[in-house]
Amino acid sequence: MQEKRVAIQESAAFQYVRNALNLKEIDDSAAFGLLTPLFEKIALNGANGLISEEETARLLSGPYLPDTTFAVVDIETTGGRPPQHRITELAAVKVRAGEVVDSRDVLVNPGREIPWNVVRLTGITDAMVADKPGLMEALPGFLDFVDGCVFVAHCANFDLHFLQYYAQEFLERDFSPPVLCTFELANRLLPGQKRFNLGELSTALGLLDSEEVRHRALSDAEATAQIFIRFTQMCRLLGLDSLESLLEFQQPEEGVPPPMAEGIRLDPAKIDSLPRDRGVYRLYDKDEKLVFAGKANDIRRAVRDMFYPRNRSAGRFALRLKGVRHVEAKSLRSELAMNVEAFRAMRESSLVNGNHSVAGGGFLRLSTGGARPGVSFVSRLARDGARYYGPFRKKAQLADLLEAICAAFPLPYQAPEGYRDAKKRGAFRGGKRPPRLPDSEYAALFEALRGILEGRLPQEDERIFSLLKKAWGEEGPSPGKLKRHIARLHHLVRMYALSGPSVERRRLIIVEPGQTREERYCYFIKDGLLAHEISFERSEPPVRVLEEKVEEIFLNESFEGRKADPEDLYEATVFASWMRRELMDGFMLNLEGRTPPARVMEALLGALDDPQAAGTTITL
């Protein structure tokens, strides 16, 4: 093998390809590592197993797919998921016959504040897009520009998903071009490369790469176009002389699929007929008893992985599914609808599958009285008069916040022993046990803490500093340390997206997509609990029923709603977790006061008619 590789490096074909791909700027060892896997894939010619220079020249002669135009696309966004995240920049570079022939770059006003971490990454500020067109104005021209082209992008699913979503929702326009992904092509063509981001690939291929212009749509599209041009040359050497062969080649090589687990009596055809959509699945036995239920972004793959186990752990679980005879699947467009449906199905299944593990890392609990006054973190909600914030995704995040609270506020706290350990948590950076205060003084401290957790008090509020300094007295941290503790607490509240009322205070109307694009699920949340739900077609909302429910649930003081039993509280955690993770596919009305039903209905019906309302919270 070593002799063969040396022969490749010394061959005239190797040097010809290196020159053709403009790899003269990288050193010999890098070029060798880059091109050797390619030469090993090329069909062998000649007695020594090497392709000749003449054959190489023939394969690379003439323009590649001269009748095909490739649109190399890159977009910048406010986050990773439509509709709550929006596009801030659109760019495309057209490539034909191995040359860049045109380009388009458009800044877009997303209609909402650009998060500071995104500004730091892309350099696109609110001021830069303030006078730019919105997406409904900018998108039609951009789609026209790339129309009829092969869609090319790095990690193409991200860019394509954004464009497809907004083309459909904003413009009622289908956008389904053939797609090539340079990330997938890099995996196939450069198996020796450790990283496949644009910067690493640009460096590996000898292209200029500047941190100053990276993460802007046009510069990234231009870099991707140059990478793609070199990849097409490599693909020509492999004999991929048609668009169809290129599209097929980019698919990852699959190993031998695992066999179905022994003893399974479920017809494999039933698995293959399942949708590849987001949703909920249920597994039944011969008596139509629900054995197992779950959720997945790809139902078919999730169910297949259970019955075709890839490791011992999955194999042991498959043994418990021998009695399954029937599978039901329900596609759901909404993350929330999927979570609620899955939670309800899991409660009914005979196999325990984590149906109550919905709180993640748990909740922060604030209580001014009762048997457990003070600050603590707990795994479950309760109706005990306390206030709950969360749920947090990780216990470490909750412990960090509790630590920051105890460093700034002289309040009693409770935490698991592992988090009291000074070696693990720095003994809660306050350094000293909080002083014992009269009960009358705790009320002001709790109110101040709630104001910070709910985003109602600014970091510069001197009243908070004065209150805490007085409460600590001589036993507390120095004024400088106290200010740093307050600043850190504000930082964690922002970082963990805590701003907003505690769970048990929420009064919401959540409208999310159902099983189809036109169906809507409407959830009425009062005091954190689901009070009522209804489904309807978006174009035909039951106005009278909705108005009656608004008045009954939110304005009728005698309305009791559902009892706060354990199952309802678990379900409340499903809603709270969804809200914390910003997974809105529809919109949400936040009712802060006694808003008249007419005003609520006006906002509700207006948002149903406005595609730009998706992903937003409307406060009334």
User: Which residue numbers are catalytic?
Assistant: 215
* Amino acid, single-letter form, for residue 475: E
Could you tell me the sign of the dihedral formed by the alpha carbons of 231, 236, 240, 243, in that order?
positive
Contact of 252 with 184, CB cutoff 8 Å: yes
Reduce the DSSP state of residue 102 to 3 states and report it: strand
DSSP bridge pairs for 74: 91
CA separation for the pair 524, 309 (Å, rounded): 41
| Token pair 């007695």 in the structure block, residue | 47
As a whole number of Å, the end-to-end CA separation of the chain is 72
Reading the block at residue 273, the tokens are 């007929």
Crossing angle of the two packed helices 566-580 and 335-348, in degrees rounded to 10: 150
Instruction: List Cβ neighbours of 136 (8 Å cut-off, separation of 6 or more).
Output: 170, 171, 612
The angle, 0 to 180 degrees and rounded to 10, between the axes of the packed helices 28-41 and 2-10 is 110
Q: How far apart are CA 351 and CA 306, in angstroms?
A: 14
Report how far Cα 47 is from the mean position of its chain's Cα atoms. 53
CB-based burial of residue 326 (10 Å sphere; 0-12 exposed, 13-18 middle, 19+ buried)? middle
Q: Please choose, from the candidates 444, 442, 456, the residue with its C-alpha nearest in 3D space to the C-alpha of residue 493.
A: 456
What phi, psi does 88 have (nearest 5°)? -110, -20
With the CA atoms of 416, 421, 423 and 426 taken in that order, what torsion angle do they form, in degrees rounded to the nearest 10? 80
- CA atoms of 522 and 167, how far apart (whole Å): 25
Distance CA 511, CA 589 (A): 8
Tokens 């990276």 belong to which residue?
214
DSSP alpha helix (H) spans, 473-555: 479-495, 543-550
Of 162, 160, 149, 20, the C-alpha closest to 88 is 162
Q: Give me the sheet containing 529-537, strands edge to edge.
A: 529-537, 519-526, 507-513, 587-590, 617-619
- Does residue 413 sit in helix, strand or coil? strand
Q: Which one-letter amino acid corresponds to residue 94?
A: K
